[in-house]
Amino acid sequence: DAGITQSPRHKVTETGTPVTLRCHQTENHRYMYWYRQDPGHGLRLIHYSYGVKDTDKGEVSDGYSVSRSKTEDFLLTLESATSSQTSVYFCAIRGGRSDEQFFGPGTRLTVL
Amino acid sequence: GEDVEQSLFLSVREGDSSVINCTYTDSSSTYLYWYKQEPGAGLQLLTYIFSNMDMKQDQRLTVLLNKKDKHLSLRIADTQTGDSAIYFCADITGNQFYFGTGTSLTVIP
C-alpha cells in the first residue's frame, strides 16, 4: 500500500469554527490532491498541489484553502466551517506506472 | 470540464458476470481507470487502460474501451460476494482526475 495517511479520521465541529485536515505521504510524490465525497456526486476535486508551495484550485474550491510547505504534507483548511462542508474528505497522491492515484483512508467531517 | 457518468446501482447473482458502464466526454484522456471502494475505506485502483488500447484483461477483470463512443466498461467474471462495493471510473486530463458518481454493485448469494 502507498504510504499515505490522513488525520484526524473523524471530526465533529460547529459552524463557524476553523478546521484543518492533514495528509501525509512517505512516497515523495510530487502531486497531491484533496477531494470530497458526497452521495450522488462521486469524488469532486477541491485543490491539488504539484510541488512545494505550488497549488491550484479544483471544481469545488470555494470555502477551502490549502498549503504545502513540505513534500510530504498537504493541509486542507476550512476557514469557517459550514454545514454544507459536512462530507468525507480524501487525500490522494499521484504516481505509479499508469500515473494513477493512491488514496488515503479518508476523514469524516461533520459540521453541526 | 470533463463529465464522467455511470449508472448508480447494479445487482447480480453470485457466479454471474457483472458489467459496469461509464461514459466520458474528454477524448484527450491518456489513461482511464477503474477504482473500487469498500465501505468506510478509500478508493483502491482495480485496473486501468491506456487510451490507445481497446481491451485489457486482468484475471477476472476485462476492460473494454470504445474511443469513438467514449464508452468504458468493466466486466467482472464469476462475481463473488466480496466484489460487493462501489466502483468508480475515472480519467485524467492534464493534472486533474475526473471521477464518475460510482456504481454500487450488490452481489446476491
Residue pLDDT, tens place only, B62-91: 999 999 999 999 999 999 999 999 999 999
pLDDT confidence bin for B1, thresholds 50/70/90: low
What pLDDT sits at residue A64? 97
The C-alpha atoms of residue B99 and residue B96 are separated, in whole angstroms, by 10
Task: Show which of residues 12-71 on chain A sit within 8 Å of chain B, judged by CB atoms.
Answer: 31, 33, 35, 40-45, 48, 50, 56, 58-59
Cell numbers for B109, please give them.
Answer: 448469494
Cell numbers for B46, please give them.
Answer: 482495480
Q: What does the mean pLDDT of chain B come to?
A: 93
Cell numbers for A30, please give them.
Answer: 510530487
First to last CA, chain A: 34
Q: How many CB pairs under 8 A join A and B?
A: 57
Residue B33 has its nearest CB partner, among A44, A45, A100, at A100
Torsion of CA A57, A19, A9, A75, to 10 degrees: 40
Please indicate if any CB of chain B lies within 8 Å of the CB of A95.
no
